[in-house]
């Protein structure tokens, strides 16, 4: 099973620029707004980037008390742009079990080399990190 990395490339392009979302991301943008989609995209990409540094894959736990977690969960369930790449498993984002390990590694390498999240410090929040849940 060959997975098309276009959705990941679309996410990378979307968070790196101020461009409008790609046609694949447009439904998600319409559902939650461009700014919220950008925030959720950064969280997903940050999670994927971290996976490349781990010996085993770590799920992205979604705490339903947080709005971003609720929105991300809804997007994964209702939007097709990440279908076959990620899924929900007991309240956490995981790579789809149908995704071959070679394809997953290709995606992780792509994100690891092309996504650089920036730490943004606020005067009253020294631990704030953009893209870091």
pLDDT digits (tens, 9 = 90+) for 56-111: 999 999 999 999 999 999 988 888 778 889 999 999 999 999 899 999 999 999 99
11-24: average pLDDT: 86
**pLDDT of the residue at 91:** 92
Compare 6 and 106 and report the one with higher pLDDT.
106
Token output for 54: 């781990």
Is the pLDDT at 27 greater than 60, yes or no? yes
Residue 85: Cβ within 10 Å count: 21
The SS3 of residue 98 is coil
**pLDDT of the residue at 114:** 93
Query: What is the rounded average pLDDT for all residues in the chain?
Result: 84
Detail the DSSP E strand segments found in the chain.
Answer: 60-61, 86-88, 92-95
Token output for 55: 């010996």
pTM for the whole structure = 0.82
What's the Cα-to-Cα distance from 37 to each of 32, 34, 100, rounded to whole Å? 7, 5, 27
- Residues 94/87, Cβ–Cβ less than 8 Å: yes
């Amino acid at each position: 099973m060959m997975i098309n990395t276009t959705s990941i490339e679309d996410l990378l392009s979307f968070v790196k620029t101020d461009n409008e979302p790609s046609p694949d991301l447009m439904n998600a943008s319409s559902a939650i707004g461009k700014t919220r989609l950008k925030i959720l995209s950064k969280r997903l990409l940050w999670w994927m980037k971290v996976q490349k540094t781990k010996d085993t894959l770590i799920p992205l736990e979604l705490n339903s008390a947080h709005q971003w977690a609720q929105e991300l969960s809804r997007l994964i369930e209702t939007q097709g742009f990440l279908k076959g790449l990620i899924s929900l498993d007991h309240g956490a984002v995981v790579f789809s079990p149908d995704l071959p390990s070679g394809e997953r590694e290709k995606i992780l390498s792509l994100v690891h080399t092309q996504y650089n999240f920036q730490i943004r410090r606020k005067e009253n929040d020294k631990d704030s990190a953009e893209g870091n849940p």
